């Protein structure tokens, strides 16, 4: 390296140091503003103050995405701001998030993506316990898997949503890449593969083609599977690369999911209503009389108002044989006039109606 090149490199490094100092000063100012927000919210001795506002955070992240013209991707730029916001929120009031654990599960990764690493976490052993933790006040919010792109809806979450009084407050999608991991160095030494039932379904063909001799066992979560494999060298676990690192396992094969576009949608659940953010979804459960055209009649309430439906899933009713419940998601917030009118009309047309909540669409792609 020539002297001129060395001097130019030093000049660039000095500029980076100067920029870093400026960034740090601005983050400190943002933290001070966050404390001022907390002070303003708690004036007058209010106790039940809501510090986390999903709609406000969605608006901030969308603005970050809109402004971004840099070499950094939109998702990475939003992720950086997500962490800054998480740290600042923790200064106002730390929030606790319940999720299907243990640490290292995909649910854990979705918590970090939605709430940032500064959120306090509460790992529980089942999806039902996530709902219970929030209902009892042991956690402010919960994160639960709703649907996988290849395996479909998560039944445990559907069943819990039917019973709970909690609201859906947010949505996040996580790309899922599965690994087979073990203490063993060779696949042929593994006698049993353990994983969550959804993960087993997502890797079904790979397992049949590459490990046809193994016994298959479904367990409560993929992270639990990794824990089990760390204690028994005859086991192989299907989980994330993060789980392999966390539990000291060897990754024997990566990307073993049958679909390379494999992703899971998670919903945040809480007790608070979410205000409009400007780009929202509304989720509901409905059932209607088992007669010709009944479903089309319900859906016409949305179509006639040009309200887009983003998802519809039918599940058998547990009350009446051959009756079905429909999980429906639409674009728009329940406080928008056209959506409010449509929902009221749907109530009149259905024998069962439950509004699960209105929430911001995720700015992350």
CATH superfamily of 273-360: ACT domain (3.30.70.260)
Tell me the three state secondary structure of residue 340.
Answer: helix
Rounded distance between C-alpha atoms, residue 87 and residue 114, angstroms: 13
Q: What angle do CA 92, 97, 99 make, to 5 degrees?
A: 165
Q: Are 118 and 90 spatial neighbours (Cβ–Cβ below 8 Å)?
A: yes
Identify which of 151, 125, 152, 122 has the alpha carbon closest to the alpha carbon of residue 138.
Answer: 122
What pLDDT digit, counting tens, does each position of 107-122 carry?
999 999 999 999 999 9
pLDDT of 261 strictly over 70:
yes
Identify which of 210, 204, 222, 209 has the alpha carbon closest to the alpha carbon of residue 259.
Answer: 204
Count of Cβ atoms closer than 10 Å to residue 317 Cβ: 15
Q: Domains of the chain: which residue ranges?
A: 179-261, 273-360
Identify which of 225, 235, 254 has the alpha carbon closest to the alpha carbon of residue 182.
Answer: 235
pLDDT at 41: 76
Mean of pLDDT values over 59-86: 96
Q: Are 340 and 301 spatial neighbours (Cβ–Cβ below 8 Å)?
A: no
Identify which of 263, 215, 237, 205 has the alpha carbon closest to the alpha carbon of residue 104.
Answer: 237
pLDDT at 321: 57
In order, the DSSP letters of 198-252 are HHHHHTHHHHHHH-TT-EEEE-S-HHHHHHHHTT-TTEEEEE-HHHHHHTT-EEE
Mean model confidence pLDDT for the chain: 93
pLDDT at 122: 97
Percent of the chain clearing pLDDT 90 (strictly above): 81
Q: Are 309 and 321 spatial neighbours (Cβ–Cβ below 8 Å)?
A: no
pLDDT at 323: 76
pLDDT at 201: 94
Identify which of 356, 336, 344 has the alpha carbon closest to the alpha carbon of residue 276.
Answer: 336
Rounded distance between C-alpha atoms, residue 226 and residue 244, angstroms: 7
Q: Which CATH architecture has domain 179-261?
A: 3-Layer(aba) Sandwich (3.40)
pLDDT class of 44 with cuts at 50, 70, 90: low
pLDDT of 243 strictly over 60:
yes
How big, in percent rounded to 5, are the helix, strand and coil portions of the chain?
40, 25, 35
State the pairing for strand pair 141-148/96-100. Answer: parallel
Q: Are 242 and 222 spatial neighbours (Cβ–Cβ below 8 Å)?
A: no
pLDDT at 348: 95
Greatest Cα pair distance, the chain, in angstroms, is 84
pLDDT of 192 strictly over 60:
yes
Q: Are 123 and 108 spatial neighbours (Cβ–Cβ below 8 Å)?
A: yes
Mean of pLDDT values over 338-364: 96
R_g (Cα) of the chain, nearest Å: 24
Mean of pLDDT values over 143-165: 93
pLDDT class of 94 with cuts at 50, 70, 90: confident
pLDDT of 50 strictly over 80:
no
Kindly report the backbone phi and psi dihedral angles of residue 71, in degrees, each rounded to the nearest multiple of 5, phi listed first: -70, -20
The residue among 149 and 1 whose pLDDT is bigger is 149
pLDDT class of 47 with cuts at 50, 70, 90: low
What pLDDT digit, counting tens, does each position of 290-332 carry?
788 889 999 999 999 999 999 999 988 766 555 789 999 999 9
């Amino acid at each position: 390296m020539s002297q001129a090149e060395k001097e130019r490199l030093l000049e660039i490094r000095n500029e980076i140091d100067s920029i870093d100092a400026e960034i740090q000063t601005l983050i400190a100012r943002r933290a001070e503003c966050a404390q001022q927000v907390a002070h303003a919210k708690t004036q007058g001795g209010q106790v039940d103050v809501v510090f986390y506002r999903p709609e406000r955070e969605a608006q901030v992240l969308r603005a970050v995405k809109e402004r971004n013209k840099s070499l950094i991707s939109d998702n990475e730029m939003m992720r950086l701001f997500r962490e800054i916001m998480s740290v600042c929120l923790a200064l106002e009031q730390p929030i606790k998030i319940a999720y299907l654990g243990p640490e290292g599960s995909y649910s854990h990764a979705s918590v970090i993506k939605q709430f940032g690493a500064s959120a306090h976490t509460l790992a529980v052993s089942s999806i039902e316990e996530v709902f219970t933790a929030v209902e009892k006040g042991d956690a402010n919010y919960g994160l639960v898997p709703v649907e996988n792109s290849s395996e479909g809806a998560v039944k445990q979450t559907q069943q819990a949503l039917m019973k709970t009084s909690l609201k859906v407050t947010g949505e996040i999608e996580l790309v899922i890449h599965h690994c087979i991991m073990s203490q063993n160095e060779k696949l042929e030494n593994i006698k049993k593969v353990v994983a969550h039932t959804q993960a087993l379904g997502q890797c079904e063909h790979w397992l049949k083609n590459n490990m046809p001799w193994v016994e298959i066992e479904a367990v409560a979560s993929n992270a639990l599977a990794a824990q089990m494999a760390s204690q028994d060298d005859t086991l192989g676990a299907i989980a994330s690369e993060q789980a392999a690192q966390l539990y000291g396992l060897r990754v024997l094969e990566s990307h073993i999911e049958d679909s390379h576009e494999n992703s899971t949608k998670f919903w945040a659940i809480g007790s608070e209503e979410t205000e409009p953010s400007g780009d929202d979804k509304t989720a509901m459960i409905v059932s209607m009389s088992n007669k010709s055209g009944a479903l089309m009649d319900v859906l016409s309430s949305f179509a006639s108002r040009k309200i887009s439906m983003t998802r519809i899933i039918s599940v058998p009713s547990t009350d009446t044989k051959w009756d079905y419940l429909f999980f429906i998601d639409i674009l728009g917030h329940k406080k928008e006039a056209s959506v409010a009118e449509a929902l009221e009309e749907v109530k009149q047309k259905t024998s069962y109606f439950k509004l699960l909540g209105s929430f911001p669409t995720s700015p992350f792609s």
